[in-house]
Amino acid sequence: MRPYEERFIWRLDWNLLRTFTVVVEKGGITRAAEFLTLSQPTVSSALKRLEDTLAKRLLDRRPGHFGLTPAGETLYRECCLLFGAVLRLPGLMAAAETIVTGHIAIAMTSHVICPHFDEVLAQFNSAFPKVTYSIAITDSAEVLSRVRQNQTTLGLCLMREGGPLMESSVLFREFFGLFCGPRHPLFGRKDITPEALSGQPSVSFQTEIENGPLYLVRQLRERVNLQSEPHGVSANLPEVRRMIVNGLGIGALPVHIARRDVDAGLLWQLPPWDELPQIDIHVVVNPRRSLNPAESAFLTAVREMIASTPFKERTYS
Is the pLDDT at 163 greater than 70? The verdict is no
The pLDDT, as a whole number, for residue 101 is 85
One fold for both 99-171+281-316 and 173-279?
Answer: yes
C-alpha–C-alpha distance, residues 88 and 131, integer Å = 15
What residue spans define the domains of the chain? 3-87, 99-171+281-316, 173-279
Count of alpha carbons within 13 angstroms of residue 167, beta-carbon side: 8
Task: Please give the single-letter amino acid code of residue 118.
Answer: D
| pLDDT one-digit tens code per residue, 217-258 | 889 989 999 998 899 999 899 999 999 999 999 999 999 999
> Would you tell me how many other CB atoms lie within 10 Å of the CB of residue 278?
12
Task: Please give the single-letter amino acid code of residue 12.
Answer: L
Confidence of residue 278 (pLDDT cuts 50, 70, 90): very high
Best CATH choice for the domain 173-279 from the list 3.40.50.300, 1.20.140.10, 3.40.50.800, 3.40.190.10: 3.40.190.10
| pLDDT one-digit tens code per residue, 180-209 | 999 999 999 988 999 999 999 999 988 876
Q: Please give the span between the terminal C-alpha atoms of the chain, in angstroms, as a whole number.
A: 59
Give the residue with greater pLDDT, 3 vs 110: 110
CATH code of domain 99-171+281-316: 3.40.190.10
User: Domain 3-87 falls in which CATH fold?
Assistant: Arc Repressor Mutant, subunit A (1.10.10)
Burial of 229: CB neighbours in 10 Å, binned 0-12, 13-18, 19+: exposed
pTM reported for the whole predicted model: 0.70
| pLDDT one-digit tens code per residue, 95-142 | 655 577 899 999 999 889 999 999 999 999 999 999 999 999 998 889
Is the pLDDT at 1 greater than 60? The verdict is no
Which whole number is the average pLDDT over 280-287? Answer: 95
The pLDDT, as a whole number, for residue 119 is 95
Q: Mean pLDDT across the chain, nearest whole number?
A: 89
The pLDDT, as a whole number, for residue 95 is 60
Confidence of residue 210 (pLDDT cuts 50, 70, 90): low
C-alpha–C-alpha distance, residues 197 and 174, integer Å = 23
